[in-house]
Amino acid sequence: MELADTLAHYGHGLAQMTVASYKDAAGRDAVIETAKSVAAMAGWPVYELSVMNVEPDPSVLTETGLVVLRDVDVPIPTALPVLVGAFQLLVQRDLPVVLLVVGTTRGIKALRLHPGMGFLSRAESVIQA
């Protein structure tokens, strides 16, 4: 599966940041389960947060492991740019963190177009059929 390869970063450790879009709930669930499986094989803890009910508080992010921010759709929840920006600071501190942002196709597209999300231009992108 393309997502597993992307997350595993072709054997070089987990990809630091990935965005994944889906068309339906089954696609969303497949993305999240694949991510959990790859993280488990790498020995990384997984923290799953729905952007629909999380506060824009950077302290919800962990300083180690895989953080899955799921349920991205339009309009973009106000917490999401705050959390992605906070994740960028964790990366700059060279912490062992990985981010997977999971949302609808239109949600991920809107997120990538958000003026504060230039950092996401470096993210791997996967589309779940």
Q: Domain ranges for the chain, please list them.
A: 2-128
Q: What is the pLDDT of residue 14?
A: 52
pLDDT, average across residues 14-36: 88
Give the pTM.
0.86
Residue with tokens 């999380």: 54
Q: What backbone phi and psi angles, to 5 degrees, belong to 95?
A: -85, 155
What digits encode the pLDDT tens for the residues 53-91?
A: 999 999 999 999 899 999 999 999 989 999 998 998 888
The Cα–Cα gap between 42 and 109 comes to 29
Where does 1-129 show beta strands of DSSP type E?
Answer: 17-22, 46-50, 65-72, 97-104, 124-128
Give yes or no for a contact between 31 and 3, defined as CB atoms under 8 angstroms apart: yes
Contact, 30 vs 11, CB < 8 A? no
Q: Contact at 8 Å (CB) between 83 and 58?
A: yes
CATH fold of 2-128 reads: Rossmann fold (3.40.50)
Q: What is the chain's mean pLDDT, rounded?
A: 85
